[in-house]
Amino acid sequence: MVKIAVSSDNHFDINKVDLTPTIQAQVAYLTDQSVDDYLIAGDLFNDFTKSAAYVKQLSDQLPTTKVYFIAGNHDMIRGVSYDQLEHGKWPGYLNNQFVDIPGTNYRIIGLNGWYDYTFATNEDKTESEFHRWKMAYWIDGLISQPMSDLKREEVVIQQLKTQLQNAKDSRKKVILMTHFVPNQHFIRYTSDFRFWNMANAMMGSLQFQKVIEQYQVDTVIFGHIHRRIGPVKIGLTTYYNAAVGYHNRRHNEWQTNDFMSEWQKQLQMIQLF
């Protein structure tokens, strides 16, 4: 049996987490739970340099657990370029990379992901209007990129197709780890709060969802939304979101009062036999 633990959206800086004792507690818990692979679906810090350093520090203290991570939009804000996100080789960084799980026919594929505004189905806006709104109101306006959001998502879609086709050719079942929302089922639409209807444009992509469905992906791990949801099976795919979310005056999404309790509560476990 292989045991996989899944987390996302820890937001250590926003949540003002004391990192040293937290890493020690996470090491103890993951070891006690006999976790073989710990997967982090983005948004550790608002600085990729800090995110990569945390993963290395955590990995160095874990005797048997392998740690893999991808970048969320918050990690992308500073400390990293687009080219580095695409081609960087930090320990455990899995964007557009894969690892086969020994003793199984499963393959973990990592893909940071992006968006193309197609989830904003109840907003009749042009590409330029969505982009202007994003630059004015959404944190992703701080992220530097050499192309439009639609073009960036086209790159992601091609990477996803290539990775999934390679896995199919190798007869591997896929555990796909991405940050952005992979299925419209998880998108919140409202009739009374227009901000979220516009923000849906930055949540993910209908194209990404269709590719997952086309290749009948077994398991998808994602973050980005901070809702408390258990595993959801849609068609042939089981989706896991294990976001810890925010704990501050403006946004208190926690159900407990300390990070470790919330992290353990939100941690999703996957067992492969």
pLDDT at 192 over 90: no
The count of domains in the chain is 1
The parent domain of residue 112 ranges over 2-272
**Confidence band of 178 (pLDDT split at 50, 70, 90):** very high
Q: Confidence class of residue 251 from pLDDT cuts 50, 70 and 90?
A: confident
Tokens of 19: 């990192």
Checking if the pLDDT of 217 tops 90, the result is yes
Triad 174, 178, 180: Cα angle to 5°: 140
- C-alpha closest to that of 176 among 91, 87, 71, 97: 97
pLDDT digits (tens, 9 = 90+) for 18-47: 999 999 999 999 999 999 999 999 999 999
Amino acid 18: pLDDT: 97
Q: What is the pLDDT of residue 193?
A: 67
To the nearest whole percent, how much of the chain has pLDDT over 70? 100
Output the domain CATH number for residue 162.
3.60.21.10
Q: Are 239 and 220 in contact (CB under 8 A)?
A: yes
Q: For residues 4 and 108, what is the distance between their CA atoms, to the nearest angstrom?
A: 11
pLDDT in tens, 83-138: 999 999 999 999 999 999 999 999 999 999 999 999 999 999 999 999 999 999 99
Query: CA–CA distance from 222 to each of 46, 49, 244 (Å)?
Result: 18, 21, 12
Distance from C-alpha of 61 to C-alpha of 45, rounded to nearest angstrom: 20
Say yes or no to pLDDT of 187 above 80: yes
Helix (H) or strand (E) holding 241, with range, is strand 237-241
| Average pLDDT, integer, range 230-234 | 97
Q: Give the pLDDT confidence score for residue 266 in this predicted structure.
A: 97
- For residue 95, which of 116, 79, 75 has the smallest C-alpha distance? 75
100 Cβ contact partners less than 8 Å away, ≥ 6 residues apart = 106, 107, 108, 172
What is the longest distance spanned by two Cα atoms in the chain?
52
Could you please report the per-residue DSSP string of 95-155? BTEEEEPTTSSEEEEEE-----STT-TT----HHHHHHHHHHH-GGGGS--SS-HHHHHHH
Query: Is residue 79 within 8 Å of 48, Cβ to Cβ?
Result: yes
What is the percentage of the chain residues whose pLDDT exceeds 90?
Answer: 95
Distances (CA, A) of 125 to 184, 185, 196: 18, 21, 14
Tens digits of residue pLDDT in 51-91: 999 999 999 999 999 999 999 999 999 999 999 999 999 99
| pLDDT (0 to 100) of residue 191 | 84
Question: Average model confidence (pLDDT) for the chain?
Answer: 97
| Whether the predicted model's global pTM rises above the 0.85 cut | yes
173-178 β-sheet, strand order: 97-100, 106-111, 173-178, 219-222, 237-241, 232-234
